[in-house]
Amino acid sequence: MVPDSTDNTTVKKFYQDLFNIQGYQDFINCNDRCYRQLLFSHCGIPSDVCKTCTNCRKNHAMSDAAIQARAKQDQIESNKE
């Protein structure tokens, strides 16, 4: 959790640790975890997956079906031309 704002040194250290290069690299290289959930976990906030970020969409059955349907529709449209 975010520390008490009355202690400026602790707050500053909290945010420095939160946005250090390793934390940033973990976020950038994350291929299988919800981005919102990852960011919230760094702040100590429990969160469900958002189901809207690119990682959630690529790992979600409904999105997979929509992507496949769109690809099939595009193929049908291109065959008409």
What pLDDT shows up at residue 18? 65
What pLDDT shows up at residue 44? 75
Residue 2 included in any domain? no
Distance (Å, whole) CA 39 – CA 15: 12
Instruction: Residue 55: give the domain boundaries.
Output: 8-80
Distance (Å, whole) CA 20 – CA 17: 5
The string of pLDDT tens digits covering residues 24-74 is 666 667 778 888 888 887 777 888 988 888 888 776 777 778 888 899 999
What pLDDT shows up at residue 22? 61
- Report how far apart, in Å, the C-alpha atoms of 6 and of each of 2, 3, 9 are: 11, 9, 9
Distance (Å, whole) CA 30 – CA 23: 11
The string of pLDDT tens digits covering residues 8-19 is 667 677 666 666
Residue 71 included in any domain? yes
Residue 3 included in any domain? no
Total domains in the chain come to 1
Residue 65 included in any domain? yes
